[in-house]
Each structure stands twice: as C-alpha cells, then as structure tokens.
A = this chain, B = another copy of it.
Amino acid sequence: MDSQAFEALSADTLPVRLGGNTAVTDRIGEDSSRWTIREVGDGNLNLVFIVTGEKGAVIVKQALPYVRLVGESWPLPLKRSFFEYHALTRQARRDPGMVPEVFFFDETQAIIVMEFLTPHVILRRALIDGRPLPRVGRDLGLFVARTLFRGSDLSMVTREKKADVALFCDNVELCDITENLVFSDPYFEATLNRHTTPQLDPLVAELRSDRDLKVEAQRLKHIFSAKAETLCHGDLHTGSVMVTENETRVIDPEFAFYGPISFDVGMLIANFWMSYFSQAGHETAPGARDEMRLYLLETIETLWDTFRSEFAHLWRTERRGILYQASLFEYRQDPLAAEQALNIVIDEIWSEMLGFAGIEIHRRILGLAHNADFETIADPERRASCESKALKLGRHLAVNRQRIHSLRDIRATVERLEMEIIA
C-alpha cells in the first residue's frame, strides 16, 4: 500500500501513526504506549480524537472522504481539512488567541493536530443546560469584527486578497452544502429535509408557499455566492464555539470561503435566537429559564454592539486597503466622509445579517442539519411549539430585513412571539 494514501485513523492506529511526530510528542510525551485516545467527534463530518499522554493532551482532527452524518453515499473531499488549516492560521493572526493553536497539519491524511481546549464545553451545550456565559457576546463580537474586517479589501493588500480568494474558491463542495442545505432545500420538499411532524406541517406548507420568503432566500443565496468580501468562517454557530467562564474559542472553520461580511454575524446571532425559543422546551417549570432568556437577548445585543463598535474602530484606525481610502477622505480634511461611508457599509451588513439569520433559523428546523437546542426537546408538541416561534421570527427577519432598524425592535417582536401575543 502506498504509505502516502489517505487512511482513516482509529484509536488503535493513532499511536503508531503519530507516535513519532514531534509536534505531538513535544506536547503530550513520547511514550505512545501510555497515550489514551478518545474519539469525540459529535459533528456531522469528521473524526475528532482527544489524545492524552503523560505531559498533556492534543486534539487530532481528521476529515473523512464522506459526510459522517450521512455515510459513504455522500462523498466529501478531504481537502476541506486544507481549508480549515488555512482558515485557522488566518483567524489566529486576525484575532489572536480566539482559535485553537495548530501544531501540525498533514494535507494528504487530512489531519490537523491542535490545542486541546479544557475545561471548555461547547457553547450550544451550555446554553441548553441553562448556563449563561458572561463573556461570549463581547468575545464573539470582537472575533467577527476583527476576522471579517481584516480579511477584506478594507484591510488587506488586494493582491494577497485576490490570491486568497482564488485559493478558497476550491472549497466548492462545502459551499455547495451551504448553497443547497441552507438556502434552497428548506423551501421545498427536498429529500434530505425533515421537521417535527405532523405538528409543524401547516406552518411548513405556509412557508414553502411564501413567495416573498423564497425570493428573499434566493437573493441571500445570490449575495452568498457572489459577494466575495472577506474570508468567512462559514459555519459559525454556537456548536462551533467552546467556552469557559473566562474564555471563548471558535473552532471548525472548514466551511471557510470568501463571502459577505454579514454571513458569519447573521448565522451566529440566529443561533442565540434559536436558543432563546428553545428554552421553553428545557425549563423545568414555567419561568424557570426567564433569566436565561434575558441573558440570551442581552448577549445578542452585546454581540452586535461589540461587532459594530470594533468594526468602526478598525475602520478608523486600520483602513489601509483599496476601499474608502484615507487619501480621498481623512487626508483631504474630510473625515466625515469616512464616517458617512462607514454608516452605509454597516447598514448593509445589518440588513444582510438579519436575512442570513432568518434563513439559518429555517434550515435548522426544516432542513437536514438540525441543532441540539430543539432536538433535545423530547416531547414533539413542546418542541414544535418552540420551533414554530423560531420559524416565524426567521420569516419576519428574512422578509423585512431592510425595514427593521434595531435589535430593540426585534427584541419586542421576539418577546411577543414567545408570549404568543402575536403569531
């Protein structure tokens, strides 16, 4: 057998295959016979091992040549590991300390060895458990502002940005998943779809015949596919965030692509709104999760406000790319022109972000890849009740995104939906 050919790791073969790798042994110890290996991949796509030795532990993540969630019938290229590696190194430069440190990358084996985050838990899990994390709004707001601003023509040397666009264009299969599963499948009876049935059937039928919604979903797909504005994480939901009380880290950027600045922001915020509506499915008594709900709405506001402030700060201090050049504004004694342009740019990010948020909510309830916030609500009646409110918010956001002007307004709508004052 060609020693270079891809071979999936197993707990048995891992010590043999990585036992001589100093990137690993330097961190966890050389005696691989004493390593303990635990496979913890709970995502949809990959193998993930925690490898623990005498000195410490590392994560070994390996892509598989198919979608793990579905099986070998859905092939998916190993090169997504290459894009994850390149996204991680760029994000580490753009917002230091916010992504796991990479120790080793093997392109052929699609293996990334990286920092083991402990005692971190997945943010989504914490939110389901009703555990508020005080830092995530601010940390994630800074992360999206910094990575998205610094990866764009507002900041980069345009030659390097274009070369990077070309590099990431090849992540076509992962973009294809988003294009289909996020923007199209939820809006018709696609084979891979599922939803809580029969409870949601009437609402699903209504949404699938909602002309304005479907047109808007496709406009957003158009923006997703054509607006190569910055390097996006591409799959930034609460399952891609690991947290402690004191630290927030962002993982799993294998869907990375050049897309609109608004995309990551909208996907992320959508997951907090879904968490909000899922709380009723997890609370042990009515009102038991009221504080958690308040926390979630405030986190959304903190996240967006932090994004906006940090983006504006970078705009004023690091705008060295080809767009909105200081030579036309500040250097001509017209700094207000740069402020005017900033407002226009933020305004567009805002309305697109709301659209992407709406669509993300829909696909998590109507499409293939559901999320644990709702899935762990065992009673289908109760789950459907939560999901139905979220679906309605999603429709409201996607269709009215250019007419909604503040999170305060959305908060009022969200709270009225939750109380079933409106539907």
Residues from chain B with Cβ under 8 Å of A405 in the complex: none
Using known A-B contacts A176-B158, A219-B341, A334-B209, determine if residue A323 contacts B188 with beta carbons closer than 8 Å: no
A211 touches B337 (CB 8 A): yes
Among A169, A188, A212, A332: residue with most chain B CB under 10 A: A169
A218 CB contact (under 8 Å) in B184, B209, B328 = B328
Residues from chain B with Cβ under 8 Å of A209 in the complex: 332, 334
| Interface members, chain A 186-219 (any B CB < 8 Å) | 187-188, 208-209, 211-212, 214-215, 217-219
A324 CB contact (under 8 Å) in B218, B323, B325, B344 = B218
Using known A-B contacts A169-B162, A172-B159, A227-B226, determine if residue A215 contacts B344 with beta carbons closer than 8 Å: yes
| Interface members, chain A 297-331 (any B CB < 8 Å) | 322-325, 327-329, 331
A153 at the interface (CB under 8 A from B): yes
Q: Measured between C-beta atoms, what is the minimum distance from A223 to chain B in Å?
A: 9
CA distance A221 to B172 in the complex (A): 26
B340 touches A215 (CB 8 A): yes
A225 touches B163 (CB 8 A): no
A393 at the interface (CB under 8 A from B): no
Residues from chain B with Cβ under 8 Å of A332 in the complex: 188, 208-209
CA distance A153 to B328 in the complex (A): 34
B176 touches A341 (CB 8 A): no
A421 at the interface (CB under 8 A from B): no
B325 touches A218 (CB 8 A): yes
B323 touches A225 (CB 8 A): yes
B153 touches A172 (CB 8 A): no
Residues from chain B with Cβ under 8 Å of A222 in the complex: 153, 323-324, 345
Q: Measured between C-beta atoms, what is the minimum distance from A106 to chain B in Å?
A: 24
Q: Measured between C-beta atoms, what is the minimum distance from A314 to chain B in Å?
A: 16
Q: How many copies does the complex hold?
A: 2
B162 touches A170 (CB 8 A): yes
A251 at the interface (CB under 8 A from B): no
A372 at the interface (CB under 8 A from B): no
Residues from chain B with Cβ under 8 Å of A225 in the complex: 153, 158, 322-323
Residues from chain B with Cβ under 8 Å of A153 in the complex: 222, 225-226
A165 at the interface (CB under 8 A from B): yes
Q: How would residues 335 to 352 of chain A score, 1 for a CB under 8 Å from any chain B CB and 0 otherwise? A: 011001100110000000
A175 at the interface (CB under 8 A from B): yes
A211 touches B165 (CB 8 A): no
Residues from chain B with Cβ under 8 Å of A114 in the complex: none
Residues from chain B with Cβ under 8 Å of A340 in the complex: 211-212, 215
CA distance A327 to B218 in the complex (A): 12
A211 touches B166 (CB 8 A): no
Q: How would residues 213 to 254 of chain A score, 1 for a CB under 8 Å from any chain B CB and 0 otherwise? A: 011011101100111110000000000000000000000000
Residues from chain B with Cβ under 8 Å of A158 in the complex: 172, 175-176, 179, 225
A214 touches B165 (CB 8 A): no
A337 touches B165 (CB 8 A): no
Residues from chain B with Cβ under 8 Å of A215 in the complex: 324, 337, 340-341, 344
Name 24 interchain pairs, CB-CB below 8 A, sorted by A: A153-B222, A162-B172, A162-B175, A163-B169, A169-B169, A184-B322, A184-B327, A187-B328, A208-B332, A211-B336, A211-B337, A212-B340, A214-B329, A214-B334, A214-B337, A215-B324, A217-B328, A218-B325, A218-B328, A219-B344, A221-B322, A222-B323, A222-B345, A227-B227
Beyond A163-B169, A215-B324, A226-B229, 14 extra complex contacts between A and B, CB < 8 Å: A162-B169, A163-B170, A165-B166, A165-B169, A180-B322, A184-B327, A209-B332, A211-B336, A211-B337, A214-B334, A218-B324, A225-B323, A226-B227, A228-B228
The 3 closest A-B pairs by CB, nearest first: A166-B169, A166-B166, A226-B229
